[in-house]
Each structure stands twice: as C-alpha cells, then as structure tokens.
Amino acid sequence: MLHAVTWWLVPVYLHLHLLVPTPLLARYRRYLLPPLYALAAILAGLELFQALPPEAFYLGLFLAGVGSLALLFTRLFIGISSLARLATGQILAGIALAFGPGFALWVVPGLLHAPQSGMLNIYLMTFAASLLPFFYIYAVYKRLLGGLEFRANRALSLFSFLVVYLTTFVVVFVLSSQWVSFTPASLGFALTVSMLFVIGGLFLHAPFQRLINRLAYGTEHNPNDIIRAFANEIPRALNRDALVSLLTGEVNPSLLIRQSALYLWKDGQASLFYADGVALDPEMDASEQVRQWLADAKRYRPPKSELGEVSPEEQEADWVRLVIPIEVGDTVLGVWLFGQRDPDDYYPKPDIELLATLANQVGVALETMRLIEDLRHQASELEKAYEGLKELDRLKDEFIQNVSHELRTPLAVIRGYTDLLLEGLLGEISAEQRQAFQIVSDRVDAVIRLVNDILSFQQGPTLPLVREPIYLAELAQFSIRNAEILVQKMGRKDQFRFVLEASEDLPVIWGDYNRLSQVFDNLLGNAIKFSPEGGTITVRIRPCEYQFISRPEGGSRQSAIEVTVSDQGIGIPPEQIHRIWERFYQVDGSSTRRFGGAGIGLTIARNIIQAHGGVIWAESQVGVGSTFHFVLPVHESPLPSEGTGTYQNASVSS
C-alpha cells in the first residue's frame, strides 16, 4: 500500500516543482502532466497487485527526488528573474538543511566506522526534515507575509541554526565516542565540548543570521556598515545636488533600491526633491495622498494589484512599497518613497529601521539646507535694504551740501551789511542799535561756522587741502585768542584760564592753515562747552617721533608734532570714548540739551587730521577732564601728490 503511494509521489512532486517557486514549461505542462499522472496510476495499481519487483518502488522515490531537484536546478541556469532565482536558492537551502543532518549522522560515522547513535539520529532527522515545508512556504509566500515576514525570517534562521548546531554536536560526540569511552573520567571532556559549543553558539549565531538574510533577501549589506558610512556624509551634503547624488548614487544602490523619490512640503504643496527610476509630477496637491502615505508609513506596502482590482489612479501610485516620513523634531518635512528593489521589491523590518535612521539624517541635512537658504535670503534682503539706505544717505548728503551752498551767499551778504552798519558807513547808529547789530553779527558768524563745518564734514577724510608752511604754535596762539574772545562774549572770562606750552624747537609743517585752525577751534570750543565750571585749558605742542602704522612708509618712526588740548570739564565715560568720533554722536541726550551742538565737530577734526596724514585720539576721566591728542607728520617740502585746489570756504571763513 505504502509502495503504491510512492509511485504517486512522482507526478505530485514533479507537478509541484513545475509550479514552485515559479511556473516552468507553462506551454508543455498540459501535455506532460496527464500522461505522468496516468503512468503513476498504472504503476500504483501494479504495485497494489504486487506485480512489480519489491525494490521497484525505490525507483519511484528516486525519480520523485532527483526529478524535483533537477527542476529546481534548471531554474538556476535558465534566464529567470533574480527574484525567482533567489526563491529557488531558498528552497534548495531548505532541502540541504532538511536532509543534510541525516546525511551527516549516517554517512559520516559510517565512513569512519564509528557507531551510529540510533534513535537520537531519527529524532534529529525528523526535527530537521520539518524545515522543508517551512522553507517552501517562506520562499513562495514571503512577500505576502507583510509584518510577519520578519518573524518568519527570524524563526527560520533560529530553527536552521538549531538543526546545524545540534547535528554538529551529535556528530562530534558520535565520532569522539569512538576514541573516548564515556566513563566518569571522561565527564570533563564532555563538559568541555559542551561549553565550547555553548560559547561558539553565541558567536556563530550572528554570522548565521547574516547568511540567512543573504539567502532571504539576496543582499550582502550590513546595516551597521551602511549607517556608519552615511550617517556622517548625509548631514554634510548641504546642497541639493550633493544630497541627491549621495542618496541616488550611493545610499540607494547599496541597498539595491531601484526606485525612490522624496517629496517635501511647501505651502500645502508637495514638491519633488528628487525622483530616481520613476517619473513623477514635480508638484502635487499634498493633502489626500500624503495622508494616505503617512498612515501607511514605515510598513511594507504589498502591491495593490496583487490584492485585487485597482483604479487607474491607484495603479499609478502603486509603485510605492515603503513610505518613510522625513521628520525634524515634531515637524514632518516630507516623505521619502521607495519602490522597486532587487531582488523582490521587499523591504524587511531591519531595512525599514535602517532607512528610518537614514531619514533622520536626511531630515537634519534638509533642515540645515533650509536654514542656510533662509539666511542667504535674509542676507540678500538686508543687502538690498542696505543699498537702499546708502542711496538715501547719499541723497541726504547731496541735499545738505546743496542747502549749505545756497546758504553761503545770503549769509555773506548779511555779514557784509552788518559790518557796514557796525562801522557806521551807512549812517550814524545809536549805542542800542550797535548792540543789536553786534548780536546779529555774532549770530551770523555762528551760522557761517556751522555751514563751514557741514561743508567740510561732507567731504570726509578726502577733503582737498591747500598746503603752506605753518608754524603750529602761532596758529594755536591765534585760536586761543579767538577762544578767549568767545568766553568773553559769553560773559565767562573769569572762569577760564588758557595756557599755551609750545617747545622752542618746533619744526614747520606743511598743512592747510584754515583746516588746522578749524581743528583747534573745534577742540577749544568743546573744551569750553564741556567745562561748565570753567578751569584751565592747556594746549601743549612738542616735537616727537611717531610710528604712523597706516602710512605706506610702514613701521619706521618719523618726525612729527604732537598737540594736546586738555580741559578740566565733565569728561567722557570710557564706554563712549570711541564713539565720539562718529558723526552726530553726542554722549547723551541731556548733555546735548545742556550744551548744544550738532555732533559733527570731532568728526570734522578727525577728517582734517587724517587728510594731513596724522592721527587723533582722546583720553578722558569723568569728572576730571579730557585730553585730545593729535599728531601730524613733519614734511620737508609740499607733497607732490596732493592737489592745491581752491579752498572752497575761504570766502566765508573768518
């Protein structure tokens, strides 16, 4: 009876292997199978009636086994898809694992004339044989297992590992029992071998799992290696092209991914960051499709067409096998889509986790790129705004320049007529009238000084100079006299004492007389203005050696004259002392109201000193007083490079 069934195995096995894992000889199957089944029926019948020799059924077994193997091996050599070849490999591995232990336990000890281990062999072989259907089902239905696939893979791997492990263990003991007799004395040996197996098992399981993975997925990648290789590179790919070429040129190929794309959200629209191996719309309405994608994220999506009828739109989006959201913090920046993949388009759990880790890196890179883009945008906006302001500033300067020029002529006329009136050339005037005209004349002088200041201030440090030989002590003497007249007019003559300390051996310098007078006037004017209690104002002039760092002649010291103007006034707070040179800067609002002024006197003084190739600075102590220093280089002769343009303010300067 059992022998009759054996004959049936032949057509059933061959039929099975013609269909599994992929259909073979589709065109000839219907001519091939019916005669095969008919023949098996006849042979089974003959067997029932014991019309065949007793050993004949072995031939049936042989035909079923070898025929099936032949069909499987055929698949490895004919041009089938890599997916089918992989499944065939899995089935063959299953066969080897299911029958291998039997071979090892019977044949190896047999060859070495070692004793068989009897029942133990039978148990172990039964245990191993149960791997066979497991491998068949896994190879054929792997892609339909969904989330269970990972568990099936692990169970398969563990089961196979146990089979190989136990077989080796038993073979080792069977062989060793030939030389070592199991007495209490050999317990040490048994324990040592067992220990070695336990320890070896710990180390061998991981490589074995990799082997099974390779068998299951056809990949040789090690997730840790991939993470290590790309974790550093991705966040450094900080422009679109670099990131796209890293993802499509390196990450995808190393994971055998043939189709992938990345969509990013922008204003409710999803815009395509890249598409590799698939044609997609560059923009699309994000809402519905994205909601669906995100609901399915981080899970293998079996093709819908495999599960039933699909609409044409679904068909179009059906290339996506895996969706990984790209997130930074709580924000979803976009989705990373994966499709076809060698060999079987399947994304097992470890690879999903690996891609999710890489997606985090991609998220960081994209966010950094966005920040850089924002910064660039802001910088260009700021630059535009700055250009606008510069233009406004230029227009304002031009306006001030024009107005000041326009003021000069009427002021000169007023000045001329008040002089005529004061000198009595236009008729006798009373003492009261004289006093009134004097006030007018003084005020007009003040306005003329302001207009002159504004005009020279507008020209900055490039203002033209009219050079002549100047003896600075004389010039200072003259300015001090003006200052004395000023305090006299202010009615504060008794509060101030002016001291001039000039060295005897002062060299002559080549400078612009009117401009340098302006510097002295401004410094002395400030000394008076910011000394509400009065005090001594000292002007010191001495020759010195000075190193003008900014000059083209460079580091060497050169002959110079140093001038200091010190007062005993309110002083300047240290944190503001550097700002007093800025145009319009005044130490504080209340002092502005208290002392008046336009905040440009020092800017002009600095411009003039710099135009002469000199330097100016200040030292001060609040409540004690301030000292302003300037140093001018001494030149033997006029500088050839500087023009001798007309001095524009000459007509109105006093």
Which stretch in 232-240, 391-399, 500-508, 579-587 sits in contact with ligand ADP by CB under 6 A? 579-587
Contact (CB, 8 A) for 583 and 461: no
- Looking at beta carbons only, is 52 or 572 nearer to ligand ADP? 572
Q: Measured from the CB of residue 597, what is the shortest distance to ligand ADP in angstroms?
A: 2
Q: Which is nearer to ligand ADP, 456 or 603 (CB)?
A: 603
The size of the interface with ligand ADP (CB under 6 A), counted in residues, is: 22
What is the CA angle 635-639-640, rounded to 5? 150
Work out how close the CB of 470 gets to ligand ADP at its nearest, in angstroms, rounded to a whole number. 23
Nearest Cα to Cα of residue 564 among 536, 538, 544: 538
Site string for ligand ADP, 87-116 (x = CB under 6 A): ------------------------------
Applying CB under 6 A, among 6, 586, 607, 649 the residue interacting with ligand ADP is: 586
- In the complex, what is the shortest distance from the CB of residue 547 to ligand ADP, in angstroms, rounded to a whole number? 26
Which secondary structure element, helix H or strand E, spans residue 431, and what is its range?
Answer: helix 431-459
Identify which of residues 511 and 571 has a Cβ nearer to ligand ADP in the complex.
571
Taking CB under 6 A as the binding criterion, the range among 17-25, 336-344, 438-446, 591-599 that sits at the site for ligand ADP is 591-599
Reduce the DSSP state of residue 78 to 3 states and report it: coil
Least separation in angstroms between CB 459 and ligand ADP: 16
Is 60 or 569 the residue whose CB approaches ligand ADP more closely? Answer: 569
CA-to-CA distance for 239 and 372, rounded, in angstroms?
9
Q: Which of 120, 412, 500, 598 binds ligand ADP (CB under 6 A)?
A: 598
Question: What single-letter DSSP state applies at residue 257?
Answer: B
From the CB of 554, what's the least distance to ligand ADP, in Å?
A: 31
In 309-412 the beta strands, taken as DSSP E runs, fall at 322-328, 331-338
x/- string (CB under 6 A) for ligand ADP, residues 505-544? -----------------x---xx--x--------------
For residue 21, whether the previous peptide bond is cis, meaning omega lies within 30 degrees of 0, is yes
Q: Decide: helix, strand or coil at residue 41.
A: helix
Cα gap 300→304, rounded to integer Å: 12
Among residues 153 and 522, whose Cβ is nearest to ligand ADP? 522
For residue 523, give Cα distances in angstroms to 177, 467, 538, 654.
Answer: 113, 21, 11, 17
| Least Å from the CB of residue 233 to ligand ADP | 56
Residue 524 CB, shortest distance to ligand ADP, in Å, is: 9
Q: Which of 18, 255, 421, 580 binds ligand ADP (CB under 6 A)?
A: 580
Q: Which of 107, 124, 125 lies closest to 116 in space, CA to CA?
A: 107
Cα dist from 212 to 149, 205, 215, 286, 411, whole Å: 13, 10, 5, 40, 101
Map the footprint of ligand ADP across residues 607-626, applying CB under 6 A: 626
Instruction: Report in angstroms how near the CB of residue 486 gets to ligand ADP at its nearest.
Output: 14
Q: Is 587 helix (H, G, I), strand (E, B) or coil?
A: coil
Minimal CB distance residue for ligand ADP:
597
Q: Could you tell me if 16 and 69 are in contact, meaning their C-beta atoms sit under 8 angstroms apart?
A: no
Could you give the CA distance from residue 606 to residue 612 in angstroms, rounded to a whole number? 10
594 and 448 in contact (C-beta within 8 Å)? Answer: no
Q: Which is nearer to ligand ADP, 100 or 597 (CB)?
A: 597
Q: How far is the CB of 365 from ligand ADP (least distance, A)?
A: 51
Nearest approach, Cβ of 647 to ligand ADP (angstroms)? 22
Closer residue to ligand ADP, CB minimum distance, 356 or 598: 598
**Residue list 557-576, contact with ligand ADP (CB under 6 A):** 567, 569-572
The footprint of ligand ADP on residues 15-34 (CB under 6 A) is none
454 contacts ligand ADP (rule: CB under 6 A): no
Q: Which stretch binds ligand ADP (CB under 6 A): 96-104, 166-174, 274-282, 592-600?
A: 592-600
Contacts for 502-507: CB closer than 8 Å, 24+ residues apart: 502/472, 502/473, 502/476, 502/539, 502/540, 502/541, 502/542, 503/541, 503/542, 503/543, 505/543, 506/471, 506/472, 506/473, 506/541, 506/542, 506/543, 506/561, 507/543, 507/559, 507/561, 507/634
Q: Are strands 331-338 and 260-266 parallel, antiparallel or unpaired?
A: antiparallel
CB of 529 to ligand ADP, least distance (A): 6
Residues numbered 368 to 407 that lie near ligand ADP (CB under 6 A) are: none
Amino acid identity, position 414:
I
Applying CB under 6 A, which residues contact ligand ADP?
522, 526-527, 530, 567, 569-572, 580, 585-587, 591, 597-603, 626
